[in-house]
Amino acid sequence: MKAKPFLIAAPAALALALAGCGGSSDGTGDTSTSSGTGTTATGSKVVVGIAYGVGGRGDQSFNASAAVGLDKAKADLGIQFKEATQVNGEAEAATIERLQQFVDAGSTHVIGVGFAYAKAIGKVAKDNPDVHFAIIDDTSPDSAGANVAQLAFAEEQGSFLVGAAAALKSKSSKVGFVGGVGVDLIKKFEAGYVAGAKAANPAVTVQSQYLSQPPDFSGFNDPAKGKTAAEGLLQGGADVVYHAAGGSGSGVFTAAKAANGLAIGVDSDQALTAAPEVRDIILTSMVKKVDVAVLDFLKQGSEGSDLTGVKVYDLKAGGVDYATTGGKVDDIKTKLDEFKAQIIAGTITVPTK
């Protein structure tokens, strides 16, 4: 679920920004193992350039999940990596330049975290056919290419499960949804959430609020806006609020804490990643395993069998799920797992709109 970035200041400045990332002064992981870990089948080292969306690896949500996969690839596969992050409002030329900088710096694999990288991935992949690319959350023709893996998720399925949890736990039969930006991807989260809530309690009312509309992607990294939106929903009677708003979700948690309500996290298990003072109000999280997709892409690359084309990580594939940290859904877990089994079996088809 991501955004658009900063105007190009100068290629030298961007190169400098890329150089200092990756957990060490030169941004490299350990690739010196004698077993060949971190190399492709042809013996060349895997060097990764990962471009995060707005909020970066510290957003406790979408980008953070991607970073978990990257860090695991460094630990398990010995890959080298460099990182960069989008800034809201960036021109397309700057997005393209960021990815090309990775290639120029020797990256063999480049990952764009978020649909806002679609056009840039498509262009840079076409210009660099010997480099392998992946994009998270886009399957459009814009990013497609012979050397591109389009890694997508069935967000609506995981959202259905947390929607059911919200309805089953709500005392007011009113629940809320905060979307970061009003784009089709985030509307998938909303659609699944509403469907799950209605399946669990047909009398439930779902109120929704979006923080920004494209081309303004600030809704993915504005905790103040998240807090204000959640406050409005809570004051309107909702006692459980689900966010699909990236870094803005921290504001949702703050509002729910102050109102003695409950909140639902997204992407990561946020009862583990959110600020300690709000973790106790997180009912569950819709876990979207971006880390699995990132690690999958890099593992295949290290084995010389690079992923290409569309790959969807759904409930059946273990790509999405609901979190149980904190024990707040233990009493309804049987019901949630019944819904999960029905979705996997195809008995329930979750809407995406």
Domain chopping of the chain, boundaries: 11-153+290-313, 155-287+323-345
- What is the pLDDT at residue 31? 26
**For residue 26, is pLDDT > 90?**
no
Q: 60-90: buried (b, 16+ CB within 10 Å) or exposed (e) per residue?
A: bbbbbbbbbbbbbbbeebbbbbbbbbbebbb
The position carrying tokens 């596969």 is 77
HSE-up of 142 (CA within 13 Å, CB side)?
Answer: 13
The average pLDDT across 172-194 equals 97
Query: Does residue 291 carry a pLDDT above 90?
Result: yes
Residue 43: DSSP 8-state: S
CB atoms within 10 A of CB 323: 24
Q: pLDDT band at 65, cuts 50/70/90?
A: very high
What integer pLDDT is reported at residue 303 of this predicted model? Answer: 94
Whether the pLDDT of residue 67 is over 70: the answer is yes
What is the arithmetic mean of pLDDT over 229-245?
98
Closest CA to 320 of 134, 142, 196: 196
Tokens (6 digits) for 290: 């971006």
In whole angstroms, give the CA distance from residue 294 to residue 66: 6
> Range with the lowest mean pLDDT among 32-36, 109-113, 125-129, 263-267?
32-36
**Alpha helices, DSSP H, located in the chain:** 11-19, 62-77, 92-104, 118-127, 155-169, 184-200, 223-235, 249-258, 270-273, 290-302, 333-345
User: What's the predicted TM-score (pTM) here?
Assistant: 0.84
Read off the pLDDT of each residue in 231-235 and give the average, rounded to a whole number.
98
Q: Provide the 10 A C-beta neighbour count for residue 254.
A: 22
User: Using CA atoms, how far apart are residues 314 and 309, in angstroms rounded to an integer?
Assistant: 16
Question: What pLDDT band is residue 44 in, cutting at 50, 70 and 90?
Answer: low
Whether the per-residue pLDDT at 21 is higher than 90: the answer is: no
Burial class (CB in 10 A: 0-12, 13-18, 19+), 201: middle
Q: Can you tell me whether residue 258 is helix, strand or coil?
A: helix
Residue 19: band (very low, low, confident or very high) from pLDDT cuts 50, 70, 90 = very low
Residue 48: band (very low, low, confident or very high) from pLDDT cuts 50, 70, 90:
very high
Distances (CA, A) of 138 to 144, 206, 216, 309: 9, 27, 18, 11
Assigned CATH class of 11-153+290-313: alpha beta
| Overall average pLDDT of the 321-333 stretch | 98
Q: What is the pLDDT of residue 192?
A: 98
DSSP string, 262-329: EEEEEES-HHHHS-GGGGGGEEEEEEE-HHHHHHHHHHHHHTT----EEEEE-TTTTSEEE--TTSTT
Mean pLDDT score, 203-215: 96
**Closest C-alpha to 210, from 171, 231, 184, 180:** 180
Q: With 70 as the cut, is the pLDDT of residue 162 above it? A: yes
Does the pLDDT value for residue 32 go beyond 70?
A: no
Whether 11-153+290-313 shares its CATH topology with 155-287+323-345 is answered: yes
Dihedral, CA atoms, 293, 295, 300, 304, nearest 10 degrees? 140
Domain 155-287+323-345 sits in CATH at: 3.40.50.2300
Look over the chain and give the mean of its residue pLDDT values, rounded to a whole number: 89
Q: Establish how many alpha carbons lie within 13 A of residue 30's alpha carbon, considering only the half-sphere containing its beta carbon.
A: 7
Q: Give dist(CA 39, CA 37) in Å, integer.
A: 6
**The amino acid at 221:** N
Whether residue 25 has pLDDT greater than 50: no
Question: The dihedral of CA 252, 63, 293, 350: what is its sign?
Answer: positive
Structure tokens at 3: 């955004």
Give the per-residue pLDDT at 330.
98
Residue by residue, DSSP assigns 209-229 as EEEE-TT--GGGS-HHHHHHH
Answer whether residue 352 shows pLDDT above 50. yes
Report d(CA 346, CA 348) in Å as an integer.
Answer: 5
